[in-house]
Amino acid sequence: MITRRTFSALAVATAVCALAGPATAADYPSERLTYTIAFGPGGGNDRMSRTVVDILRKYDLYAGDIVVENREGGSGAVGFSYVSQQAGDPYRLTSTSGNFIGTPLVADTDWTYADFTPIGLLASDAMLLVVRADSDVTDVDAFVEAAKAGRVTIAGSGSAGPERVTAALFAKAAGIEFEYVPIGSGGELVTALTSGSVDAVVANPSEVAGQLDAGTLEALAFSDNARSTNNPDVPTFKELGYDFSFSLPRGVVMPSGLAPEVQDWWIATLKQVIETPEWQEYLVKNGMSGNPIWGAEFAAYLEETSAQYRAVLVEIGAIEG
The pLDDT confidence band at residue 196, using thresholds 50, 70 and 90, is very high
Domain 4-125+248-315 is found in CATH 3.30.530.20? no
The superfamily (CATH) of domain 128-222 is: Periplasmic binding protein-like II (3.40.190.10)
Q: What are the residues facing 125 on neighbouring strands?
A: 248
Q: How many CB atoms lie within 10 A of CB 267?
A: 19
% of the chain exceeding 70 in pLDDT:
92
pLDDT for the residue 156: 92
- Topology alike, domains 4-125+248-315 and 128-222: yes
pLDDT for the residue 312: 92
The pLDDT confidence band at residue 25, using thresholds 50, 70 and 90, is low
Has residue 3 got a pLDDT over 70? no
List pLDDT tens digits, range 62-100: 999 999 999 999 999 999 999 999 999 999 999 999 999
Has residue 7 got a pLDDT over 80? no
pTM score of the predicted model: 0.82
pLDDT for the residue 230: 79
User: Any alpha helices (H) in 150-185, and if so which ranges?
Assistant: 162-174
Span 105-134, average pLDDT:
96
The Cα–Cα gap between 128 and 222 comes to: 5
Identity of the highest mean pLDDT range in 12-16, 187-191, 267-271: 267-271
Nearest-10 crossing angle of helices 98-106, 295-315: 50
Q: Domain map of the chain by residue range? A: 4-125+248-315, 128-222
Cβ(122)–Cβ(270) below 8 Å: yes
Q: What is the mean pLDDT of the chain?
A: 90
